[in-house]
Amino acid sequence: MTPPPPWLHPGVRLIEAERSVGWTEIAAQADAFEAAFQAAGGRVVLPPQGVPALVAALVAAERAGVELHLPRRAAPAETESEPHGPGFAVLLETSGTTGTPKLIRHDFQRLRGRLRGAGDPDARWLLAYEPAAFAGFQVILTALAAGATLVSAPGAGAAELARLAVSHAVTHISATPSFWRAFLLALDGAAPPLVAVTLGGEVADQPLLDRLAERFPTAKLRHIYASTEAGALFAVGDGKAGFPADWLETGIDGVGLRLSDGVLEVNSPRAMLGLDGVWLSTGDVVEVRGDRALFAGRLDGRVNVGGVKVSPEVVEQVLLDVPGVRDALVQAAANPVTGHILTALVVPAPGVEEAALRAAIRAAVAVLPPAARPRLVTLTGSIALGAAGKKTRKGTA
C-alpha cells in the first residue's frame, strides 16, 4: 500500500454514517480517483459525497497534479473547466447567500501553513461546518495532520450532531455561535467531554461565552476572528466578547489591527496570495469600550442568521418585486437561537387580498436560502421614514 502524504497521519480515523475508515480505505479510494483525475487533467470537480471521499480526492488530486474543485452543492458555482493555474490546488466556494458564490483558489501548502501547533492524536473532532466550506476544510486538515478521529454527518442539523458528539465522546468542536446555541439547546443531561470549544464565523456574544464556560468548565474556550480575504486572524481565549483594545496598537500574533472611521482594518502575513502585508478593510464595525474592542455589526448592513451572512436590502428587493407589494422593509431582529432573524413589513397595494399576497411572498422568498427568508411578514398601512428620508433599519447590531 502507498504511504500517506506528509499531511495525513496514518492513525487518522474518519467516522461518517456509523462507518469508520482509516488510511487503508482512503488509499484504495484515492487510487481509483487518481486514475480518473489523471485522465481528466487540469481541473476536476468532486460533488459533495462525504468526508472520506473528499480526503481520498485530495490525496489523488495532489498525486495527479490537478486542481480540485469542491462545490458545496451538487450544482457547482462555476462550470468552466479551464484550470486557474498549473498544478495541485484546492478550489472552495464562498458562502454567498444572495448572488453567485465565488470560487477561491487555495494553494494547498499555504492552507496547511495556517494550521497551528502540534495536533493531538487523541482528539475526537466533530465536524460542525460543511466539509467544503473554508472553516470545515480547516477542521478536516487539522484532524488529518494529527492522526485524530473526525466524526462527520454532512447535512445533519445541530440536534443530530449533538447526539453524535455524545455517542462518540467528542473532545474538540469548532463551530459558529449559532451552532453552539442550537447545540446547547439540543443537549440533554449528557454532554460530550469537550476539552476545546472554538467559536468562529460570527460575533461571539458574552452570554453565550458564559453559558459555554459554565457547561464545559474544563474546556479551553476560544473565539476566532477571520475574514474572507485574510483568513483566520486571531483567537481570543480569555472568555470575554470582543478583543483587548490594546491589540489595536500592538497587533496580535503578527497581525496588525487598526480602526478607520470605526471599521476594523487588518494587515496579515497569512492573507491570500498577493494581499499579504496590505491593509484590508474587514467591513466590521468596532466600538472601543474601556479596555475592550467590541464588534458592532457590519458596515454593509449584512447580518448573520445562523452563521449565514444575509443582506436585508437584497431580500427587500425580492419583496419589492412581488406583484401586489407597494413597499417593503426587511429588518434583522436579534434572536437567541440564530443570532439574528429577518422580519419584513409589507405595505400591500390597494385592493390586494391578504392570503393571495402572502402566498405570492412565500413563493418569491422560496428561492432564497432558508436563512435569508423573512420569517415573520407583517402587513401594514405605511412604513415610517427616518430623518434622512430613508427607511429606518433597526437591529443590525
Partner 1 sequence: MTETMFALIAEELARIAADKGETLPALGPDTRFLGGDLPIDSLDLATLLVVLEQRTGQDPFRAGFVQFNTVGELAALYRPDLSRSGAAAGSA
Contact call for residue 158 and partner 1 (CB under 8 A): yes
Cβ nearer to partner 1, comparing 68 with 197: 197
- Which residue in 17, 35, 36, 376 binds partner 1 (CB under 8 A)? 376
Q: Name the minimum Å distance from CB 319 to partner 1.
A: 12
Helical pair 177-186 and 206-215, crossing angle rounded to 10 deg: 40
- Which residue in 57, 199, 208, 230 binds partner 1 (CB under 8 A)? 208
Contact call for residue 206 and partner 1 (CB under 8 A): yes
- Which residue in 162, 197, 325, 328 binds partner 1 (CB under 8 A)? 162
- Which residue in 112, 163, 292, 391 binds partner 1 (CB under 8 A)? 163
Q: Among 16-24, 42-50, 76-84, 377-385, which window interacts with partner 1 (CB under 8 A)?
A: 377-385
- Which residue in 370, 386, 392, 394 binds partner 1 (CB under 8 A)? 370
Q: Which three cell numbers stand for residue 254?
A: 503578527
341 bridge partner residues: 333
- Cα(396)–Cα(332) distance, integer angstroms: 6
CB 301, CB 342: distance < 8 Å: no
Q: Among 49-57, 77-85, 193-201, 338-346, which window interacts with partner 1 (CB under 8 A)?
A: 338-346
Q: Which three cell numbers stand for residue 105?
A: 483558489
Contact call for residue 211 and partner 1 (CB under 8 A): yes
Contact call for residue 337 and partner 1 (CB under 8 A): yes
CB 139, CB 176: distance < 8 Å: no
Cβ burial 58-67 (10 Å sphere, 16+ → b, else e): bbbbbbbebb
89-93: strand order across its sheet: 43-45, 67-70, 89-93, 103-106
Q: Name the minimum Å distance from CB 356 to partner 1.
A: 15
Contact call for residue 207 and partner 1 (CB under 8 A): yes
Cβ nearer to partner 1, comparing 91 with 342: 342
Contact call for residue 240 and partner 1 (CB under 8 A): no
Cβ nearer to partner 1, comparing 112 with 211: 211
44 bridge partner residues: 68
Contact call for residue 377 and partner 1 (CB under 8 A): yes
Q: Which amino acid is at 50?
A: G
Strands 292-298 and 279-289: antiparallel
Question: What are the phi and psi torsion angles at 207 (to 5°)?
Answer: -60, -40
Burial of residue 249, with CB atoms counted within 10 A of its CB: 0-12 exposed, 13-18 middle, 19 or more buried: exposed
Q: Which 4-23 positions form the footprint of partner 1 (CB under 8 A)?
A: none
Here's the x/- map for partner 1, 290-319, by CB under 8 A: it reads as ---------------xx-------------
- Which residue in 16, 34, 202, 205 binds partner 1 (CB under 8 A)? 205
Q: Which 80-99 positions form the footprint of partner 1 (CB under 8 A)?
A: none
Contact call for residue 374 and partner 1 (CB under 8 A): yes
Contact call for residue 331 and partner 1 (CB under 8 A): no
Q: Name the minimum Å distance from CB 163 to partner 1.
A: 7
376-379: strand order across its sheet: 325-335, 339-348, 376-379
Strands 196-199 and 256-260: unpaired
Cβ nearer to partner 1, comparing 139 with 371: 371
Contact call for residue 186 and partner 1 (CB under 8 A): yes
SS3 (DSSP) at 316: helix
CB 166, CB 190: distance < 8 Å: yes
Cβ neighbors of 346 (< 8 A, separation 6 or more) are 319, 325, 327, 328, 357, 361, 377, 378, 379, 380
List residues binding partner 1 (CB under 8 A).
157-160, 162-163, 178, 181-182, 184-188, 205-208, 211, 305-306, 333-338, 341, 343, 358, 362, 370-371, 374-379
